[in-house]
């Protein structure tokens, strides 16, 4: 079949196609422009002129006009509203060419955690689980205000769970006061407050919390709480995670820098607590930081699958070296001790440890759970776990039931002793008031008797007979 090419005058060599195209164009023009029949016009005008080219297709012309207008609009939009690109931490320059506001690019190789994090502006996530902690919050916020690590590089995350007091309300008030402080160095970075209950029924008193029977179930629930808090708050730009209990009483303000300088994957200080003088003045508190022993490994082999070994109880004699018992008050605070289990009062860990999969086991992992299981898991994954035996953090003293009983007995003895002393003083005061002093009369009588004896002696010496006392019989 021969091809039909367009002629110079705008018509094709196919007469049939020309007639069809002409009729269709006339009808479309009539419809678009509201004109009367173009065939009649063509018949009338045929005697006057012959067109050099066919009428332009109306839809094609409109499409071209619309495309031109749209192009002009987008050019003006680009000129007056230049695109904005968001670049996350460690953004590569190649990503800045994209105009996607929801794009976040993070280079995790830049957030590894170093020994000079404050100089490299490494961000720290501070995590604190709270339960019925309203009485401890003012003390906790006093510590927050005194941290020397740049506050704007620290993000705070709190998990409030199973609380019956006003922990959450007070927490909000204290956070607002901290963030609105007039001192520009006080406000912290991003703050997260998370509420999640876990059905924890163990009371918060010392006897219940530290009783042996409650340890396994309590620690498994605490592990769940820590994992929930961490998974909700950890961001790609965090280099460190610092776990801190709210009931720490005394702590160096430079603790973040002090622990960070050791450049360990996981590191903890020694935790003691002050005691009344009648109890010895001080005592190791956190016994969950330890080195493994052969005795403990043999004990673990004899326990059930879900059993959890806890330190400091007669039921589990592990004979492990504890970080707490190795403390020397005058020792070098930078001395390091390799550990297998860690306590949860104060833990500094590199964020990459958690990103690698280490967590707080809410089950029996190698016969341990929560923070001790976390230490064991980190060691199993070849991370470094260390403690500082001579670097001390002081936990708040909370008297046990036995301490309270002894204190009540001491108070009763003190009151009884004070009552006896008061009664003796009152009796002495009463006797002194009722007793008639005769000292002056005795002095006068003594003086008179002495004068009479002297007069008698003088009379006998001169030969006079001194009259005898009428009361005395004559010899």
| Backbone torsions φ then ψ of 227, nearest 5 degrees | -65, -40
Q: Does the pTM of the predicted model rise above 0.85?
A: no
Considering the domain architecture, whether residues 333 and 429 belong to the same structural domain is answered as no
Question: Residue 435's pLDDT is what?
Answer: 66
Give the separation between CA 223 and CA 228, rounded to whole angstroms: 9
Residue entry with tokens 């009648």: 278
Considering the domain architecture, whether residues 272 and 372 belong to the same structural domain is answered as yes
Query: Interior CA angle at 60 toward 57 and 65, to 5°?
Result: 125
Mean pLDDT of 351-363: 97
- pLDDT reading at 400 higher than 80: no
Q: Are strands 154-160 and 248-250 parallel, antiparallel or unpaired?
A: unpaired
The last residue of one of the domains, among 398, 428, 448, is: 398
Contacts of residue 421, defined as CB under 8 A and 6 or more positions apart, other chains included, come to none
Considering the domain architecture, whether residues 342 and 428 belong to the same structural domain is answered as no
What HEC string does the chain produce?
CCCCCECCCCCECCHHHHHHHHHHHHHHHHHHHCCCCHHHHHHHHCCCCCCCCCCCCHHHHHHHHHHHHHHHHHHHHHHHCCCCCCCCCCCCHHHHHCCCCCCCCCCHHHCCCCCCCCCCCCEEEEEEEECCCCCCHHHHHHHHHHCCCCHHHEEEEEEECCCCCCHHHHHHHHHHHHHCCCCCCCCCCCEEEEECCCCCCCCCCHHHHCCHHHHHHHHHHHHHHHHHHHHHHCCCCEEEEEEECCCEEECCCCHHHHHHCCCCCEEEEEEEEECCHHHCCEEECCCCCECCCHHHHHHHHHCCCCCCCCCCCCCCCCCCCECHHHCCCCCCCCCCEECCECCCCEEEEEHHHHHCCCCCCCCCECCECHHHHHHHHHHHCCCCEEEEEEEEEEECCCCCHHHHHHHHHHHHHHHHHHHHHHHHHHHHHHHHHHCCCCHHHHHHHHHHHHHHHHHHHHHHHCCCCCCCCCCCCCC
| More confidently predicted of 142 and 439 | 142
Question: Residue 433's pLDDT is what?
Answer: 74
Considering the domain architecture, whether residues 363 and 316 belong to the same structural domain is answered as yes
Mean pLDDT of 134-151: 97
Give the separation between CA 268 and CA 29, rounded to whole angstroms: 86
145-149, 204-208, 378-382: range with lowest mean pLDDT: 204-208
- The dihedral region occupied by 90, where left means phi > 0, alpha psi between -120 and 50, and beta the remainder, is left
Range of the domain at 412: 401-436
Contact in structure between 268 and 343 (CB atoms under 8 Å): yes
Beta bridge partners of 432: none
User: Is residue 23 one of the residues assigned to a domain?
Assistant: no
Question: Residue 10's pLDDT is what?
Answer: 41
Considering the domain architecture, whether residues 293 and 346 belong to the same structural domain is answered as yes
Question: Residue 356's pLDDT is what?
Answer: 97
Considering the domain architecture, whether residues 198 and 131 belong to the same structural domain is answered as yes
Mean pLDDT of 300-309: 93
Considering the domain architecture, whether residues 197 and 287 belong to the same structural domain is answered as yes
Domain count, the chain: 2
Length of the chain equals 475
- pLDDT reading at 224 higher than 70: yes
CB atoms within 10 A of CB 293: 14
CB atoms within 10 A of CB 65: 10
Mean pLDDT of 343-359: 98
Tokens matching residue 386: 């260390």
Mean pLDDT of 20-46: 49
Question: Residue 300's pLDDT is what?
Answer: 94
Tokens matching residue 45: 């005008």
User: Is residue 91 one of the residues assigned to a domain?
Assistant: no
Considering the domain architecture, whether residues 279 and 414 belong to the same structural domain is answered as no
Considering the domain architecture, whether residues 270 and 349 belong to the same structural domain is answered as yes
Nearest Cα to 223, choosing from 125, 320, 355, 365? 365
Give the separation between CA 267 and CA 295, rounded to whole angstroms: 25
Mean pLDDT of 197-216: 64
| More confidently predicted of 69 and 42 | 69
Considering the domain architecture, whether residues 230 and 323 belong to the same structural domain is answered as yes
Question: Residue 451's pLDDT is what?
Answer: 75
Considering the domain architecture, whether residues 346 and 406 belong to the same structural domain is answered as no
Query: Interior CA angle at 59 toward 54 and 64, to 5°?
Result: 100
Question: Residue 5's pLDDT is what?
Answer: 41
Contact in structure between 58 and 29 (CB atoms under 8 Å): yes
166-180, 375-389, 405-419, 433-447: range with lowest mean pLDDT: 433-447
User: Is residue 416 one of the residues assigned to a domain?
Assistant: yes
- pLDDT reading at 126 higher than 90: yes
Question: Residue 87's pLDDT is what?
Answer: 39
User: Is residue 459 one of the residues assigned to a domain?
Assistant: no
Most confident of 110-114, 153-157, 448-452: 153-157
- pLDDT reading at 171 higher than 60: yes
- pLDDT reading at 326 higher than 70: yes
User: Is residue 241 one of the residues assigned to a domain?
Assistant: yes
| More confidently predicted of 446 and 188 | 188
> Residue 370 belongs to a domain with what CATH number?
3.90.550.10
Residue entry with tokens 């949860």: 344
Mean pLDDT of 399-424: 80
Considering the domain architecture, whether residues 336 and 393 belong to the same structural domain is answered as yes
The alpha carbon of residue 248 and the mean position of all alpha carbons in its chain are separated, in whole angstroms, by 12
Tokens matching residue 349: 């860990």
User: Is residue 244 one of the residues assigned to a domain?
Assistant: yes
Contact in structure between 245 and 344 (CB atoms under 8 Å): yes
Q: How large is the greatest C-alpha to C-alpha distance in the chain, in angstroms?
A: 204
| More confidently predicted of 277 and 121 | 121
User: Is residue 307 one of the residues assigned to a domain?
Assistant: yes
User: Is residue 451 one of the residues assigned to a domain?
Assistant: no
Question: Residue 428's pLDDT is what?
Answer: 82
């Amino acid at each position: 079949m021969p091809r039909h090419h367009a002629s110079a005058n705008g018509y094709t060599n196919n007469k049939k196609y020309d007639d069809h195209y002409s009729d269709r164009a006339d009808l479309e023009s009539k419809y678009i422009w509201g004109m009367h029949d173009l065939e009649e016009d063509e018949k009338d005008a045929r005697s006057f002129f012959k067109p050099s080219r066919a009428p332009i297709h109306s839809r094609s012309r409109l499409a071209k006009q619309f495309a031109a207008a749209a192009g002009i609009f987008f050019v003006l939009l680009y000129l007056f509203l230049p695109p904005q690109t968001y670049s996350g931490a460690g953004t590569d320059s190649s990503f800045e060419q994209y105009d996607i506001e929801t794009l976040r690019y993070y280079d995790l190789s830049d957030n590894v955690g170093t020994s000079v994090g404050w100089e490299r502006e490494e961000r720290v996530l501070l995590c604190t689980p709270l339960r019925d902690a309203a009485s401890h919050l003012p003390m906790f916020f006093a510590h927050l205000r005194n941290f020397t690590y740049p506050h704007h590089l620290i993000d705070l995350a709190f998990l409030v769970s199973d609380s019956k007091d006003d922990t959450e309300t007070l927490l909000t008030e204290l956070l607002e006061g901290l963030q609105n402080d007039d001192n520009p160095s006080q406000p912290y970075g991003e703050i997260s407050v998370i509420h999640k209950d876990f059905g924890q029924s163990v009371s918060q008193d010392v006897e219940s919390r530290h009783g042996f029977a409650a340890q396994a179930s309590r620690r498994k629930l605490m592990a769940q709480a820590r994992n929930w808090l961490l998974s909700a708050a950890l961001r790609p730009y965090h280099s460190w995670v610092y776990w801190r209990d709210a009931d720490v009483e005394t702590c160096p303000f430079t603790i973040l820098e002090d622990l960070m300088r050791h450049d360990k994957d996981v590191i903890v200080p020694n935790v003691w607590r002050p005691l009344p003088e009648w109890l010895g003045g001080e005592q190791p508190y956190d016994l969950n930081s330890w080195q493994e022993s052969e005795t403990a490994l043999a004990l673990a082999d004899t326990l059930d699958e879900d059993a959890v070994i806890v330190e400091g109880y007669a039921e589990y004699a592990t004979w492990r070296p504890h970080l707490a018992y190795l403390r020397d008050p005058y020792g070098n605070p930078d001395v390091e001790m390799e550990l297998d289990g860690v306590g949860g009062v104060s833990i500094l860990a590199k964020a990459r440890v958690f990103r690698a999969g280490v967590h707080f086991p809410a089950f029996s992992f190698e016969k341990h759970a929560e923070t001790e299981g976390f230490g064991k898991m980190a060691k199993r994954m070849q991370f470094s776990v260390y403690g500082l035996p001579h670097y001390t953090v002081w936990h708040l003293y909370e008297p046990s039931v036995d301490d309270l009983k002894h204190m009540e007995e001491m108070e009763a003895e003190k009151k009884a002793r004070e009552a006896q002393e008061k009664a003796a003083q009152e009796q002495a005061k009463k006797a002194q008031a009722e007793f008639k002093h005769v000292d002056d009369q005795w002095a006068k009588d003594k003086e008179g008797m002495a004068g009479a004896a002297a007069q008698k002696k003088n009379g006998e010496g001169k030969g006079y007979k001194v009259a005898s006392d009428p009361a005395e019989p004559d010899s």
